[in-house]
Amino acid sequence: MKMKFVMATAALALCATAGAGEGCPGDLDGNSMVDVQDLIVVLSDWQCTDKCAGDANGDGIVDVQDILEVLMSWGPCGAEGCTTNADCDDADACTVDFCIMGTCYNLPFPGPGCGPN
Ligand SMILES: [Ca+2]
Ligand SMILES: [Ca+2]
């Protein structure tokens, strides 16, 4: 039972690692986070048509579509998937599970039977 849980956790961790840095078209500055910095890259390359960093969707011109691309992938890269806290339930009574902007967080919770061992 315990082993099964450990394996599931490892698989989840692997999955999260594999997703990072890939499938993140809005991350224009490559910091694995789509945020206001990436929006600034788009705006500073506005209407640029020469292989610009701000061309988030790769169509050859920096325009409103690129702003939308950034906004749609807003948040940490490779972490899409959760929309509610229930999506992040790791079946561990010793963590508090919640979803923030598409990312799951499972924080240790000092309940009965939990804690460092
Ligand atoms: Ca970024
Ligand atoms: Ca574009």
> Which ligand is nearest the CA of 73, by number?
1
Residues 62 and 101 in one domain: no
Q: Using the mean position of ligand 1's atoms as its centre, give its distance from the Cα of residue 42 in Å.
A: 11
Strands (E), the chain: 33-34, 75-76, 95-100, 103-108
Q: Which helix (H) or strand (E) holds 85?
A: none
Residues 94 and 46 in one domain: no
Q: What phi, psi does 15 have (nearest 5°)?
A: -60, -45
> Which ligand is nearest the CA of 70, by number?
1
Q: Using the mean position of ligand 2's atoms as its centre, give its distance from the Cα of residue 79 in Å.
A: 23
For residue range 18-52, list pLDDT tens digits in order. Answer: 333 356 889 999 998 999 999 999 999 999 999 99
For position 35, which CATH number holds? 1.10.1330.10
Residues 65 and 40 in one domain: yes
**Residue type, position 27, single letter:** D
Q: What is the DSSP letter of 63?
A: S
Which of 101 and 75 is assigned the larger pLDDT?
Answer: 75
In a domain, 106, yes or no: yes
Q: Using the mean position of ligand 1's atoms as its centre, give its distance from the Cα of residue 75 in Å.
A: 9
For residue range 50-74, list pLDDT tens digits in order. Answer: 999 999 999 999 999 999 999 988 8
Q: Which helix (H) or strand (E) holds 20?
A: none
Say if strands 75-76 and 95-100 run parallel, antiparallel, or are unpaired: unpaired
d(CA 105, CA 70): 22
Q: Using the mean position of ligand 2's atoms as its centre, give its distance from the Cα of residue 51 in Å.
A: 10
Residues 58 and 86 in one domain: no
> Which ligand is nearest the CA of 54, by number?
2
In a domain, 117, yes or no: no
| Percent of the chain scoring above 70 in pLDDT | 76
Lowest model confidence (mean pLDDT) among 2-11, 67-76, 107-116: 2-11
Give me the number of domains the chain comprises: 2
